Amino acid sequence: MRLASIFLPDEDAAARLGAGLAAGLQTGDVICLEGPLGAGKTTCARGLIKAYCGASDVPSPTFTLVETYQNADAALWHFDLYRLEHPRDVFELGFEDALADGICLIEWPDRIEGLLPPDPLRLVFHIPQEGGRKVDINGPKIWRPRLKAAGLI
């Protein structure tokens, strides 16, 4: 279900989107970041991680495939599956543990589509002709109040 469409005029707006999402995160959440290379997925993820954990240095897990961060409530697992060779390899990265008692932030979720839990929150990034970025936020209705509380819709 489409919950919102947001225009992001610049990189800072993508980071603010992530930071806004961080405020309402709960253990068990799965957030999928979809879209082409350079669309703003990692910038959004960094904004979310910085706001959620207070981390100052947030490397992209492009080569390590996963980075974990901790705050007082739960571990946040940032998966970047662009270089994942086989879908089942995600289990070697601690995916089951992340789903069981953490928060999953997944870039390139299409690499493991059949292994995802039902109804994650999906942020689909587009690069429109006129510049900036457009993000479609799709997911179950349970996300609507959290998105509203964060001022995202």
The tens digit of pLDDT for each residue in 89-112 reads: 999 999 999 999 999 999 999 999
Task: Place 48 in a pLDDT band, splitting at 50, 70 and 90.
Answer: very high
Q: How far apart, in whole angstroms, are the C-alpha atoms of residue 101 and residue 97?
A: 6
Task: Assess if residue 138 is contained within a domain.
Answer: no
Half-sphere exposure of 120 (CA within 13 A, CB side): 25
Across the strands, what pairs with 125?
135
For residue 150, give every residue at least 6 positions away whose Cβ sits within 8 Å of its Cβ, in sequence order, or none: 20, 21, 23, 24
Domain count, the chain: 1
- Position 33 scores a pLDDT of 98
| CA dihedral of 49, 136, 20, 11, whole degrees rounded to 10 | 70
E strands, 25-107, are 30-34, 66-70, 75-80, 102-107
Task: Assess if residue 9 is contained within a domain.
Answer: no
Task: Place 129 in a pLDDT band, splitting at 50, 70 and 90.
Answer: confident
Task: Place 57 in a pLDDT band, splitting at 50, 70 and 90.
Answer: confident
Residue 59: give its domain's CATH number: 3.40.50.300
Helix, strand, coil percent content, the chain, rounded in steps of 5: 35, 25, 35
Task: Assess if residue 146 is contained within a domain.
Answer: no
